[in-house]
Amino acid sequence: MEKVKVIKERFKTAQSRQKSYSDIRRRDLEFKENDWVFLKVSPMKGIMRFGKKGKLSSRQVRKLRNKEIASVKVLWRNQQVEEATWEAEEEMKRKYPHLFA
């Protein structure tokens, strides 16, 4: 029980230290009506329905030194959305051309 108490205290100390670091960088933002702001929107779970219809949708382009590799997110049959995988678009077009028509 003594070790558990020590671990909890160390967690609390580390959490407090991290909070103080993040509080220094955080600032309250206030906006007025008609202010221009930049909005960053990141994809979330369930976004699949906004892309191409069916099981494929474009999301990602990997950039190498001399070329870009387009990928599509593939939701395989009998799999959950969380288990979808990124596959090379060219390979998927070659194997399943009817999905890209």
Q: For the segment 4-37, what is each residue's pLDDT rounded down to a tens digit? A: 999 999 999 999 999 998 888 888 888 889 888 8
- Name the one residue in this structure whose structure tokens are 């779970």: 45
- Name the one residue in this structure whose structure tokens are 């220094």: 24
Q: Answer whether 0.95 is exceeded by the pTM.
A: no
pLDDT of residue 66: 85
More confident of the two residues 43 and 74: 74
Q: For the segment 36-71, what is each residue's pLDDT rounded down to a tens digit? A: 888 776 665 554 444 444 455 557 777 888 888 888
Exposure class string for 48-84: b at 16+ Cβ within 10 A, else e: beeeeeebbbeeeeeeeeeeeeebbbbbeeeeeeeeb
Residue 90 has pLDDT above 90, yes or no: no
Return phi, psi of residue 21, to 5°.
-65, -45
